[in-house]
Each structure stands twice: as structure tokens, then as C-alpha cells.
Chains A and B, each alone.
Chain A
Amino acid sequence: MPSDRTNEADYVRPVRRLVIAVLVLVLGGMFLLWRIDSPRVERFRMAFVDAVVPNMDWAMAPVTRASRMVEDFRSYARIYEQNQELRRELQQMRAWREAALQLEQRNAQLLDMAQVRLDPQLTHVTGVVMADAGSPYRKSVLINVGARDGIIDGWAVMDGLGLAGRIAGVGQRSSRVILLTDSNSRVPVMLQPSGQRALVSGDNSTMPVLEFIEAPDDIRPGDRVVSASDGGVFPPGLLVGEVVQGPDRRLRVRLAADYGRLDFLRVLRSRPAERIDHSGALLRPLDGEGQPLDTAPEAPAGAADE
């Protein structure tokens, strides 16, 4: 350093050299110390970072927020692609939703069966649809099972999922199934979860009408429709479909059975429900021969059974 260019006092240069030497020693010593006893210096470093970095929170918050805003703004540029992407996903979600609803229906049906315990003798005969003898005025199909297979008039017919109709006319090798959509079809049903009873009456449209509902205000679209055993025609608890509201504001049933593809049909062998004709008698304790122990007519009911 040429001394004529600097107007320094005489003591400056030795002091500067001393400062430089001290700094070099401190920095070099720190590095050597780190190399020799790394954990201690690393602890010091962590303490230093702990002391310094949290104080920068006030600075980090606005900067991270600003960067997030920039990111958001950038996403506007991709808004069209995002829209497309979301639509695709929505489509997929709809498919999944449909699948979930169907599974839920089946699950509910299975649960119903498990709890209600349908007649264990309720077995079925499966037949193939031979001909669709329908016309604009008659909705019926012919299946290839008949009296030879033990089919009896009036039995319920299901496809894989829901009730499709009932047997109306049995031949030796074939039988006719009148579908729920036929204008002559009347099927007693129960609406869940409100528990009301109604009648599904076909009117040649794809969605039969619900008639004779006691309190239509309790019904809402989406309620399940299952068959009821009123009149002894059908075994109870078979899935029929779900309630929808038509454009004419009448309540109709969207059938669970797939009428577009009726290939195999299942005829349920139902037994006529046992009728209970006599009203209940008083129960009294009995002896071994079945005679009442207590002849007093006002005796309280016991636990014995016949």
C-alpha cells in the first residue's frame, strides 16, 4: 500500500495488522476446532441458528405469503386446463357415486335379508327370456321354464337386482311374465324409510306410478321401494326401485331391474303365507297332559307355550 495515497495516522497500520491477525487466528482456529471437535462446534452452530432464525419469522410470513400469491396468480394462467381436469375428475366421481349407490342398495338389501330372515324355503328357478312378446300395450316376456319346472301362477320374478314382474300364465315348458310396467300390473310395496304402503301400478311407461300413498309429504325422491306381502302375492322385502318425481309431479318408481337387458330371470318359489284365522287365546300354565293347571278364568298369563 503506497503510503502517499493514504492519509492514515501512524498507529493505523499496526492496529490493522493486529486486527487481521486476530481475525485470521479466530476463523482458522474455529475451523480447526470444528475439525477436531465437531460435535461441540455443531452444538454452538445449532444454538446460533436457534437464536437467529426464529427471529426471522416476521420476515418469513409476508414473503411466504407473497410467494403463495404469485403461485396463485400463476395458476390463473392454467385455469382452462384446470377446468378440463376438474371436469374429467367430476365425470369419474359421478361414475364412482353411481357405483357406490348401487353397492349401497345391494348392501341394504342384503342387510334386510339378513335381519328379516325371509322364508328359508324361498328358492328360485332361473329361466332364460325366450321372446319379448311385448307390444305398446302389453309389457310381458316369455321365459323357458313352465309347469314342468313347478312354476305356479303368481310367483314373483326378479332379475339380478330387483323385482321384474310376476308370472301370469304358465305353459308346459314356458310361462309368461307380466312386467311391472304393464298397465295391468299392480304390486303392493312398502316405502323405506317412511314405512308407508303403496301400490305400484304400471302405465306402459318405463316408470310405473306410485298410488294410494297415505302421506305423500313424507316421501321424497330417492326413497327405497321394496315389495310388501300385502295380499299374499309377493314375498316381502324384494327390492323394487327408488322413488322419483316425474315431470308431472307424480311420484313414480325407477325400477331397479334392468329392463333394457332382460336375459335371465329368476322365478322365486314362494309359498303362500300362512293365514292366522283365529284370534289369540289366553295363555295359562299347563300340566304335563296339556290341561290348564289353573281353571280360574282371571289367572294371569304364564310363560308356557304349546
Chain B
Amino acid sequence: MSEGLRFDTLAFLGLYLLIAALAMLLRLLPLDLMGGGWPGPDLLLCLTIGWLLRRPAHLPAPVIGLVFLIEDLLTLRPPGLWSLTVFLGTEFLRRREAVAREINLALEWAMVAAVMVAMTLAYRLVLAIVMVPQQQLDLSLIKLAFTVAAYPLAVVVLHFVLRVRKPATGEVDELGRRL
């Protein structure tokens, strides 16, 4: 694992952290104090999952857990639960990275949507079990729908702007190993 952390990987990891910091900063900025309206999509989650399915080596599991834990802390969610859910979901997808390489975007989208739905349900279920007051079901369903709808957008941005693509056949990493 440590051998895989070469400069290229580290640069992409840094890029991911930068984007995550920017996303959280935008959430924190006092731009829209009015509130109300519909909840927007969780773009950071879309980006993380899309990135993970393309280059899992860029995003080590602790980094994902840490980023979402920080988001938990900053956005006043119950600390740890959503990051744990995201962590488990991404680990599930990381195991299926080999599958994701061979399917097209529509199938990948369906798989990611299923994982997101499962994550939301699990999150709400745990909150209900420990009797934490939570947001209304329709709001979190709207947020889930937006997030699922925004996933192809994140993939397009990853593919064309950030140049994070699925490894082509015969592509090798910095150490010359096949991906």
C-alpha cells in the first residue's frame, strides 16, 4: 500500500482534498442565509464515489472517513454516523471496482444509486433506532434524488476536467504494474 503512494497518486489525493475543502467552504460561506427551498445534492458524495470507481488507489479508506467526519463536525450532523455510512458504502464499492470497470455508465449509475439509497436508509434506520430527532423523510428523499441525478454530472467533470478516468487496458501505474 505504501509503495503505491507515488507522486502522481499523492497529487490526485491532494486535489481531492482541495476539492473537498472547497465544497465544505462553500457550504459554510454565508451566501444563502435565507434557508428554505429544496436541499441541494450532496456533490461531495457523488465526486467521491465516482472517483473511487475510477481510481481507487487515489482515495485511501481513512481519507474518505476523515473527510466525511470533518463534514459531519462542521455541518452539525451527528458526528460519525454519516461518515461511517459513507465509509462502509465506499468500501462496498471499492470491492466491486473490478465490476465497475467493465460496465457502462448507465449500469454504474444504477449500482451507485442503489448504494446511495441503501446508505440513506441505513442512516435513517440507525437514527430511528437510537431515537435521534432527524429531518423529514421527504426532504432527505429529495436530497437523495438530487444526489443520484447529479452523479453523471460528477462523472463528466471527473472525466473531462479532472482527467480521472477508468484505467484503459494495459495501463500501468508508476511502478510499472498492470492496473
Where the two chains meet, the residues of A that have a C-beta atom closer than 8 Å to any C-beta of B are 1-2, 5, 7-9, 12, 15-16, 19-20, 23-24, 26-31, 34-35, 41, 45, 48-49, 52-53, 56, 59-60, 63-64, 67
Contacts and interface: CB of A to CB of B under 8 A. Distances in A.
B173 to A, nearest CB: 9
Interface stretch (B40-48, B84-92, B141-149, B157-165): B84-92
A63 B31 CA distance: 9
A27 B83 contact: yes
Interface string B79-101: 11101100110010001001000
B37 interface: no
B28 interface: yes
A28 B72 CA distance: 13
Contact of A20 (B61, B81, B130, B132): B61
26 contacts: A1-B95, A5-B98, A7-B178, A12-B1, A19-B61, A20-B91, A23-B62, A24-B87, A27-B81, A27-B84, A27-B87, A28-B80, A29-B80, A30-B80, A41-B79, A45-B79, A49-B74, A52-B70, A56-B25, A56-B28, A60-B29, A63-B29, A64-B29, A64-B30, A64-B31, A67-B31
Contact of B98 (A2, A27, A60): A2
A45 B30 contact: no
A31 B98 contact: no
A35 B130 contact: yes
Nearest to A41: B79
Nearest to A13: B1
Given A8-B1, A23-B87, A60-B29, 15 more contacts: A1-B95, A15-B1, A16-B61, A19-B62, A20-B91, A26-B80, A27-B87, A29-B80, A30-B79, A31-B78, A35-B78, A45-B76, A49-B74, A56-B25, A64-B30
